[in-house]
Structure 1
Amino acid sequence: MSISDTVTATFSSKARCKPVKRNKLVPRWYWAMVSAESFCSTSFDYLILGGGTAGLVLAASLSEDPDVVVGVLEAGEHINEMPEISVPGMMGQALGNPKVDWAFSTVEQQAVLNRKIFSPRGKGVGGTSAINFLVYQRASEEDYNAIESLGNPYWNWKDTFLKYLMKVETYVPPTDPKIAKDPHIGYTTDYHGSSGPVKASFSAWFNDLHAKFMDTLVNMGVPINRDTGNGRNIGASVGPISVDPSTMTRSHAATAYYTPNSHRTNLVLLTGAHVTKILLDTPSGEPVVATGVEFLKDSQKFSVRAKVEIILAAGAFQTPQILELSGIGKTDIFLSEKTFVRTIWFLQSAAPIKSNSVTEDHLTLPFIHEVPEGSETFDSLRDPAFLEQQSTLYKNERKGLLAGSITAYGYLPSEKLFDSDGLTALQNQMLQDTTLTASPSLSKQSVLIKKWFPDPNQAQIEVLQFPFFLSFGPLPERREGKVYHSIMIIGLHPLSRGSVHISSADPLFGDHEKSAVSNEDLSDDEIRDWCRSRVISIFHPIGTAAMMPKEDGGVVDSSLKVYGTKNLRVVDASVIPLEMSTHPQAAVYAIAEKASDIIKTARAR
């Protein structure tokens, strides 16, 4: 389904919301999630659109003041008990499940042989933090400083990101002596939090090839980095994961921010509520005022008002969708021959592009290897008897494969991948690339990316070991009874840019039984085509409502307020203007924590 086609119908009437009197005999937690009628009869100060990674941080923080009433609209449901979410060793198995994943796909991509690329996004309370692969890492200091250099004062490593990254987390070093002595694990108290809502810990199980993978990186000249959270992420490391070690279950936005605060009567969550439009008032000569929201619940249309602010936290794909359907964009957006959305506020941009919704993503090329008999990977859990054994071990002792996760990472600069001639050739090729010279903002990004490329302190590639058969994209068929490792090669600072248009997936791939071809028999063009036939997303979309100056094509300013509006902000991954050399989960939490302080400060004035 196209993202622009998700909400196009015209509805005949709005449902009337009747006031609902609160029964004081009803437990307080009951009122945290209510009916649509009672929700839209509530007098809200703030409405948060999206109960995901960023939205729940905002909800918990803003509702700390008992005099402030916060409403959260979430299109998905609140699923408390789902092993595919809570059990670390089942990470990734929720992807594609329509209960918890929107399971978007791109339109056909010419550069990858006209394939559609699977792009999952979390659907439900907790958002993508509830269904991702648990990776909880940080970028380099330069990546965070780049956000400031693109026109956002104080959005840098020292003033903002380190402070809020520490606030978010409770960092728990490994207690298992065998794991604690791993030479790739370290802990620096100056860079990590000890009392935050999100638990950051380490896998309780290391796969058979973990040590060999790490040794291979070291033999390549990649240094050991025992703590990549200090602003220097180059090296071979064991990365933290978002798992609560006391229960050995996933720590995500719902468990960390919503559940502990769901008893608050001034924090109201409505699930199954699909936002269709932000209601805007356009007084002559004044900034646009966001007055309320229209949403669908059980196929019925409702509207609800906000007295102070509306905060859009629907994620990198659905935030631009909601903005455009609400009339905020560059031009009239036609959805079909018979329906269109009239743009009532034009986002000014010097960029010669069709939309301010410019997106980036990390792409990866997976290599899948069958491992010898006797090795254990998560594929071993396909054996019913072994799964039962491991389930019992996890249930009783919180150990074994089901308590495990991804453990081995390598962040490599260009010099570890190319010789001097190769570096020079690639730099010359980058200079000829016109993708990032099409607008002022893209030109500024181009300067940074080209500066970083030869920098030995800036990671350009992540090498990541998945101890299982990674089954996304056009990959070979897994052979029954065999176990696998997947090695992911991830480009961290892409030159390509796109816009958000979602369609159904249609992956292509040939027969797994075809024999491999020797490298000596392949031309450069054949190797390129092979890569293009298998490259997939690693699911890190950002930038579709970028925080940049308006003249550079930005959608929000450095206070995360949509340009030209008085009280509409965006707080999610869509505001990140440039891909960073890491997985974005921790950064999104930090952005939401800072946004909460910005909003509180504005209210106090």
Structure 2
Amino acid sequence: MSRYPNEVDIIICGGGGAGCILASRLAEELPRLQILLIERGGDDREVKRLERPLDSLFWLFSDNPYLQWLECEGQDELKGRKPRIPVGNILGGGTSINTLMYNTGAASDYDDWNQPGWSFEDMKPLIKKSVDYDVPLRDPSKDVHTRGGAFGVSLGGHQMTWGNDFCETWKEVRPDMEILDSITTYRHGNAVGRQPKMITGQGRRSTVAEAYLHKRQSPLKNLAVVTGLTVSRTIVEGGRAVGVEVLESAPYAGKEKSRKVIKARKLVVLACGALGSPGILERSGLGDPNVLTKAGVEVLADLPGVGRELDDHQLVCPMYHISDDIDSFDDYARGVESIKTAVDEEWERTGKGIGASNGFDWGYKIRPNAEEIDKMGSTFKDYWKRVGADKPDKALYSNVIFPYFYSYKPRPKEGKYMCIGGFHNYPASRGSIHITSSDPFLSPRVNAGLLNHPADMPVHIWHYKIQREVVRRLPFYRGELAGCHPNFDETSNARLRSPGEFSDPAEVIAQAKSVSRIEYSAEDDQKIDEWVRDSVATAYHTMSTCPMRKREDEGVVDARLDVYGVKGLKVADLSICPSNVGSNTTSVVLLIAEKAVNLIVEEMNGGIAPITEWVKSKL
């Protein structure tokens, strides 16, 4: 175990999205300090398949060795079902293995954190610094995104042909919906538009590891990056973090792991994500005394907020049959050799084609109107009043349309499909994650907390009805895919339709423009409720397990990301979010990490804020 130093100035634990940014930026800003980045998984550069966007997307549900699945406890709300939550196990974290969807929350999400230095106005310069936004806009001056940041975002190398149909149909169902050049504005909570992607202008997957670490013209001599190493705990002496205990990450092979302590002269930063950082804190003796005592860990600081408020968006994916003449990626996903070979060769040659896409070309964000809120009941109404009723930039549901079958279920052997992949942005439900042992290789006890608050189910029932009204008016709609929708009675107005009912395309198109809205009965609503409980899943957006708030409010870190009760220890990842953000989480990770860099550099420079060459060029 001699391939890394015994002592450095700053140790960053976790080489995911936040960790890679912290390592690169801090090494650049603090050239006199030695920085060490420790990642449990492997080096992303060794996995060429991850570069091709579409191919790597379908790897998510197969035997992907760079992904670890945490099995959660069974929930009564899910009829005993045990959800699973994925964790990136590779340099770059989720950005190296996710579905490549770039989305942003509402400006008010950051204002709601109510933390000094973390308002949306504080975040604006960091958005420009972190994102290279290669998305055509009719009026770029109205968008906070710009070109020139580190992390590449574009529309990808292929665009589906039916975007106008999708947008115009939304306007037909909901006339108040705006049509946007891009859905990632931070300002619109009720709109439909193009969906940007985490894909570079060259058609490659955009990863934080590539953008911040590998892409540098000259290596940072004061930065060491070590993979295949697990951080067990932080070493705390005299109330200060002085280093970390590490073990090799390979699975147990019938013998005790060799352990080693790496010292940190100045700072330890945890960036292992909402599912990783709480465990390191608890194994270090920092957490709820009841949890630590049961796990056999000595209590060093009473921090009951550690791991207590796991917050995640709730994903539901109804699927539909579409006509045979419409664009679809289903045959590629099935591995049809002639199609996959041609697509992959085009991507290798030009960086274009469907291989340079994830198919998520159009998305929407939606808020309920006053009439819909009343129908959703008093429990939801009271909750929404506290969370977002008076904040029009907040979307209650975010969605993207997938031009293929997307599910954990077996892929149909034939046919073309589309999926409305959407998630509840601001669920009232909460879960938890806690260690059961001091052993870092034993899985934690995880409660996903899906649907455990009564305000959430009305949201899913409302949205199911809205999205279905839109899809059944699309000219290429050919019915609902049985098994991926509620099991409505055949005599119900809400009954599912099969492709066999659409024999005349001209008649289908004519009907699509005149179809009346479905009237759902109380029995139909109950069928939707049952289906949601059977199918709802994590959206892979876990956060808030080490919240940034006052200690007396069960906070774990303060506004400077310092862990309460310990000096020299910070947390800088999605776990610090004090409340949810209505977005896929990559855009949030970028901002948290860039903000953390500023805070750390300011402290290391004796109170002088960082002024990099990039910042100077923008002044």
Match of 1:357?
308
Question: Would the aligned equivalents of 2:132 and 2:147 in 1 still touch at CA under 8 Å?
Answer: yes
Deviates more, 1:226-235 or 1:547-556: 226-235
Aligned-partner residue type, residue 79 of structure 2: L
Say whether residues 1:156 and 2:156 are aligned partners. no
For 1:189 and 1:280, the matched residues in 2 are separated by: 48
Match of 2:129?
167
Match of 1:11?
none
For 2:342 and 2:587, the matched residues in 1 are separated by: 34
For 1:560 and 1:331, the matched residues in 2 are separated by: 22
State the TM-score, normalizing by the size of structure 1: 0.80
Q: Cα gap change, 1:190/1:371 in structure 2, threshold over 3 Å: closer, same or farther?
A: closer
Say whether residues 1:460 and 2:396 are aligned partners. yes
Aligned-partner residue type, residue 328 of structure 1: L
Match of 2:206?
251
Say whether residues 1:409 and 2:366 are aligned partners. no
Aligned-partner residue type, residue 461 of structure 1: Y
Match of 1:543?
544
Pairing of 1:163-562 with structure 2 (within 5 A): 163-174=125-136, 187-188=140-141, 191-219=144-172, 220-221=174-175, 222-234=177-189, 235-245=191-201, 247-261=202-216, 263-281=219-237, 283=238, 288-297=239-248, 299-333=257-291, 340-347=296-303, 356-381=307-332, 382=334, 383-405=336-358, 406-415=360-369, 420=371, 422-426=372-376, 428-430=378-380, 450-453=386-389, 455-472=391-408, 475=409, 477-500=410-433, 502=444, 517-518=489-490, 519-520=492-493, 522-562=523-563
How many residues get paired? 519
Residue 547 of structure 1 aligns to a residue in which SS?
coil
Q: Cα gap change, 1:216/1:516 in structure 2, threshold over 3 Å: closer, same or farther?
A: same
Deviates more, 1:87-96 or 1:250-259: 87-96
Residue 179 of structure 2 aligns to a residue in which SS?
coil
Which residue of 73, 77, 90 maps to 2:42?
Answer: 77
Match of 1:9?
none
Q: CA deviation at 1:79?
A: 2.8
Say whether residues 1:135 and 2:101 are aligned partners. yes
Match of 2:564?
563
Q: Cα gap change, 1:87/1:505 in structure 2, threshold over 3 Å: closer, same or farther?
A: farther
Deviations 1:83-135 (A, max 9, x none): 54211222433425452111223221221222122211211110011111112
Match of 1:33?
none
For 1:548 and 1:290, the matched residues in 2 are separated by: 21
Q: CA deviation at 1:524?
A: 3.1
Residue 2 of structure 2 aligns to a residue in which SS?
helix
For 2:51 and 2:281, the matched residues in 1 are separated by: 32
Aligned-partner residue type, residue 272 of structure 1: G
Q: Cα gap change, 1:91/1:487 in structure 2, threshold over 3 Å: closer, same or farther?
A: farther
For 2:380 and 2:260, the matched residues in 1 are separated by: 50
Residue 387 of structure 1 aligns to a residue in which SS?
helix
Question: Would the aligned equivalents of 1:139 and 1:233 in 2 still touch at CA under 8 Å?
Answer: no
Match of 2:2?
37
State the TM-score, normalizing by the size of structure 2: 0.79
Deviates more, 1:513-522 or 1:257-266: 513-522
Deviations 1:120-156 (A, max 9, x none): 12111100111111122221211121112xxx11211
Q: Cα gap change, 1:466/1:91 in structure 2, threshold over 3 Å: closer, same or farther?
A: farther
Say whether residues 1:58 and 2:22 are aligned partners. yes
For 2:126 and 2:58, the matched residues in 1 are separated by: 30
Aligned-partner residue type, residue 305 of structure 1: K
Aligned-partner residue type, residue 427 of structure 2: P
For 2:389 and 2:274, the matched residues in 1 are separated by: 26
Match of 1:436?
none
For 2:484 and 2:179, the matched residues in 1 are separated by: 36
Give the CA RMSD over aligned residues.
2.6
Q: CA deviation at 1:451?
A: 4.6
Q: Cα gap change, 1:503/1:466 in structure 2, threshold over 3 Å: closer, same or farther?
A: farther
Q: Cα gap change, 1:218/1:554 in structure 2, threshold over 3 Å: closer, same or farther?
A: same
Question: Would the aligned equivalents of 1:118 and 1:505 in 2 still touch at CA under 8 Å?
Answer: no
Match of 1:594?
595
Question: Would the aligned equivalents of 1:244 and 1:251 in 2 still touch at CA under 8 Å?
Answer: yes
Q: CA deviation at 1:431?
A: 6.4
Q: CA deviation at 1:560?
A: 0.6
Aligned-partner residue type, residue 52 of structure 1: G
- State percent identity of aligned pairs: 25
Question: Would the aligned equivalents of 1:45 and 1:307 in 2 still touch at CA under 8 Å?
Answer: yes
Match of 2:32?
67
For 2:483 and 2:429, the matched residues in 1 are separated by: 30
Q: CA deviation at 1:555?
A: 0.6
For 1:514 and 1:604, the matched residues in 2 are separated by: 59
Q: Cα gap change, 1:470/1:205 in structure 2, threshold over 3 Å: closer, same or farther?
A: same
Aligned-partner residue type, residue 554 of structure 2: G
For 1:99 and 1:540, the matched residues in 2 are separated by: 20
For 1:361 and 1:505, the matched residues in 2 are separated by: 11
For 1:137 and 1:100, the matched residues in 2 are separated by: 23
Match of 2:604?
603
